[in-house]
A and B are shown apart, each in its own frame.
Chain A
Amino acid sequence: MSNNPSGDADAVAARRRALAEALRSGEDVVVTPSGEVEYKDEAAEQGHTAIQVPNGKLARGE
């Protein structure tokens, strides 16, 4: 267990930002069976079967 909860929260937020930027720049990002968005290499290292996140814009909505 971490003795630095705020550090953990910061690390989680930093990871989210990095993943978002990876998606924006078209890097290989996948979704694992739990629905977690991960780097492709990271998922492969952990042995996850993961679906590639398609590149492209989200539909605009209302």
Chain B
Amino acid sequence: MSFYWYENDHGLLDGEKMAMAKFFPAFKLYKLEDGSGRIYWRGKVQPTGKGGMVWDLMLIYKNDHPQSEGFGGSIQILPVKPRLKDIAKQLPIDNDKGLGLGLPHIYRDNFGRNEEYFICTADPKYFKASQTRSTSAASSLSWACKWILLCEMWLNGEISDDVAREGVY
């Protein structure tokens, strides 16, 4: 049995590829060059449409996909550009408002030799993982686009801290 989910479950990998080809065909699949064996999708999205920011994203599978828990499960969403850490360091930190890292609904984790900030996607109770069903990269990306819409509106002052923190989107 392999350490890597994509070598153990070819059906799941094929399903992931089909979902991304159908819904986000511009995203391409790669393997991290850090020796971790983790695979990832990379591509660009523009959730708020014309005039909105273009986000260059990596969707990185954890090696225990699809079983992970917390902050959105086994697929981590890392904005390469804009980089969340760069945006967050220009913002005030407010732990009482759920903005402990400066932005709503983000978390930090090690990535290579650096600590990076990632987008939280589904609340764990909405994340689907079982023997027969799992949240796909395509689904996680749709969550991320919701987050980006929320984040851009919050940065523009179009929604309040409370609404952004609640995250009912």
Contact = CB atoms under 8 A, between A and B. Distances in A.
A34 B57 CA distance: 12
B121 A12 contact: no
B134 interface: no
Most buried by A among B126, B147, B169: B169
Contacts of B51: 8-9, 12
B23 A61 contact: no
What's the dominant secondary structure at chain A's contact region?
Answer: mixed
A52 B25 CA distance: 16
A57 B46 contact: no
Q: Determine the interface band of chain A, counting residues with CB < 8 A from chain B.
A: 20 to 34
22 contacts: A12-B48, A13-B156, A16-B149, A19-B149, A23-B146, A23-B169, A33-B26, A35-B145, A37-B48, A51-B138, A52-B142, A54-B139, A56-B123, A57-B126, A57-B168, A58-B120, A59-B122, A60-B120, A61-B98, A61-B101, A62-B100, A62-B108
